[in-house]
Amino acid sequence: IPRGICSVLWASRLSQRQSLHTGNAYITQNPDESLEAAKRDTHFAVKDNIAARGLPTTCASNILAGQEIPFSATIVQQLQRRNLTVIGKTNMDEFGMGTHSTASAVGRVSNISPIEERSAGGSSGGSAVAVSAGTTDLALGTDTGGSVRMPAAYTETVGFKPSYGMISRWGVVPYANSLDTVGFIAQTVGEIESVIASVRAEHDLRDPTSLTQATRERCMAQERQVPPSVEQRKGEWLRGLTFGIPIEYNIEELDPRIKAGWMQCAQKIRDLGGRVVPVSLPSTKNALSAYYVIAPAEAASNLSKYDGIRYGKRAEGATTDALDGVLYAKTRGNGFGPEVKRRVLLGSYTLSSKAIDNYFIQAQKVRQLVRKDFDRVFKLSNPLCDEAPFDLSEMDESISLENKLGPTQVDFIISPTAPTPPPRLEDVAKQTPLDSYMNDVFTVPASLAGLPAISIPMDIPVDTTSEEEKLLNFGGLQIIGQFWDDMTLLAVAQGLS
């Protein structure tokens, strides 16, 4: 049984239900819910940084141990209105900061048998294992820089990050607001598609980054038609689509097995009649660095509220009398784990007056270049950019030439989700923070640009007699689409699954 914040609440129930133990996936189980397989399709699991009334929301952090948020997040309410009930809250990297779900105050998540000594990915690793172990068909996660796609790739599940602003973040504990999205993990694309199809029209007044009703209607009016049946999605329709392979994604660190799987997917698309062409996304090489400046900067700002006075569990023995910082230092020192502290330090530094120009401001510029790279290669234009009045005279020449001209116009981009198969947890423990950040190299560009992206299971051609290697003949294929092309992206993902 996980050393849990609420172990008393659910220990007795858990003892009979092995599946909930699996991989330390859950932090809290909803005591009102049972886990009978027959009801599986009416449940969903919720990452522990998303509020669900009646259950604690701890973000897998000691600073929020036992904390309840007295309302449910909009997305939880939306699913409840569709007759789904919360089965439990899932384990994660503390505040969403991590790539392997090993940075949790209640113990790490691990993959399911027979590769349980492997990383389940992060930060929504608990949600991914909850799905891959069969305890639920749908789990909510959050994706700031890859946190639903990475766990999906490591657990052979489907992980979807919608366009930024489509799904309300009200009731989701912020990590890096300009990047955070609610994400979805499921066994199949179909489950996710039905949710997105119905909730994407709903604006949320309580979330200032939720796209307005007018923008939603305009975007929906421009949506492409997708064929309803799976057969059609594998057939004729795919012949009209072009897929880009970004040449910059062929990095040195790419594991040859993952590369072989990626190329096999490209071939499969060609066999089905789709076009596959190389594209160039030159700013990709700076995307990871920009992400690891912007995300910690926003995190440092967000987490400053956990001071033991207004928010967060005060360290024992610390009193408000001490104006010398003891209360802060003790509370934050005890309450946050090492990765969170690292991000707070990093973010505070890059926002400091001496460093901001060289780091934070540069990173914002890189972010714009990353978005422009995508806009240049996609056939569809970005509906958010259409909104601005288009005045050629104001446009700097380099932008007009570089961004809109060029022969390659693609519908989607395909890449691996992660550069390697799921690593051993013992190797993860030896990684430096930088090694771990490197894993996010393929997922952060879509996050910086706010684009929809999905990870679906990808077969790896096996060329080995090793039994262990054969267990790992999967990875994740990432498909990235233009802003608000989520429904087409999901249809394509289903066609390629």
Q: Is 39 among the residues known to form the active site? A: no
Q: Which stretch binds ligand GLN (CB under 6 A): 144-152, 185-193, 242-250, 415-423?
A: 144-152
Residue closer to ligand GLN by CB (options 143, 411) is 143
Q: Is 372 among the residues known to form the active site? A: no
* Cβ contact 89:52 at 8 Å: yes
**Residues 6+ away with beta carbon under 8 Å from 108:** 24, 100, 101, 102, 425
Residue 163 C-beta: closest distance to ligand GLN, Å: 15
Residue closer to ligand GLN by CB (options 77, 123) is 123
Q: Which stretch binds ligand GLN (CB under 6 A): 142-150, 304-312, 317-325, 405-413?
A: 142-150
Among the listed residues 121, 145, 383, 422, the single contact to ligand GLN using CB under 6 A:
145
Give the number of residues in contact with ligand GLN, rule: CB under 6 A: 14
Give SS3 for 454.
Answer: strand
Q: Does 422 bind ligand GLN (CB under 6 A)?
A: no
H/E run at residue 124: none
**At 35, which amino acid appears?**
L
**DSSP string covering 215-270:** HHHHHHHTPPP--SSHHHHHTGGGGG-EEEEEGGG--TT--HHHHHHHHHHHHHHH
**Residues 6+ away with beta carbon under 8 Å from 213:** 203
Q: Does 419 bind ligand GLN (CB under 6 A)?
A: no
Q: Does 143 bind ligand GLN (CB under 6 A)?
A: yes
Residue 166 C-beta: closest distance to ligand GLN, Å: 16
| Residue given tokens 């057969």 in the structure block | 231
x/- letters, 63..102, toward ligand GLN (CB under 6 A): ---------------------------------xxxx---
Whole-angstrom Cα distance, residue 56 to residue 50?
Answer: 10
Q: Which one from 72, 123, 168, 447 is the annotated catalytic residue? A: 123
H/E run at residue 137: none
Residue 320 C-beta: closest distance to ligand GLN, Å: 33
Residues between 6 and 25 with contacts to ligand GLN, criterion CB under 6 A? none
Which DSSP letter does residue 464 get?
-
x/- letters, 97..126, toward ligand GLN (CB under 6 A): xxx-----------------------x---
Whole-angstrom Cα distance, residue 189 to residue 83?
Answer: 20
Sort strands 242-246 and 181-186 into parallel, antiparallel or unpaired. unpaired
Residue closer to ligand GLN by CB (options 86, 103) is 103
| Alpha helical stretches, state H, 93-188 | 125-132, 149-155
* Cβ contact 119:156 at 8 Å: no
Q: Is 283 among the residues known to form the active site? A: no
Q: Which stretch binds ligand GLN (CB under 6 A): 12-20, 139-147, 162-170, 259-267?
A: 139-147
Q: Does 140 bind ligand GLN (CB under 6 A)?
A: no
By residue count, the chain amounts to: 497
* Cβ contact 192:490 at 8 Å: yes
Q: Which one from 47, 89, 161, 313 is the annotated catalytic residue? A: 47
Q: Does 440 bind ligand GLN (CB under 6 A)?
A: yes
Residue closer to ligand GLN by CB (options 147, 331) is 147
H/E run at residue 209: none
Residues between 288 and 307 with contacts to ligand GLN, criterion CB under 6 A? 295
Q: Which one from 101, 119, 124, 147 is the annotated catalytic residue? A: 147
Residue closer to ligand GLN by CB (options 145, 274) is 145
Where in the sequence numbering do the catalytic residues fall?
47, 123, 147
The contact set with ligand GLN (CB under 6 A) reads: 96-99, 123, 142-147, 175, 295, 440
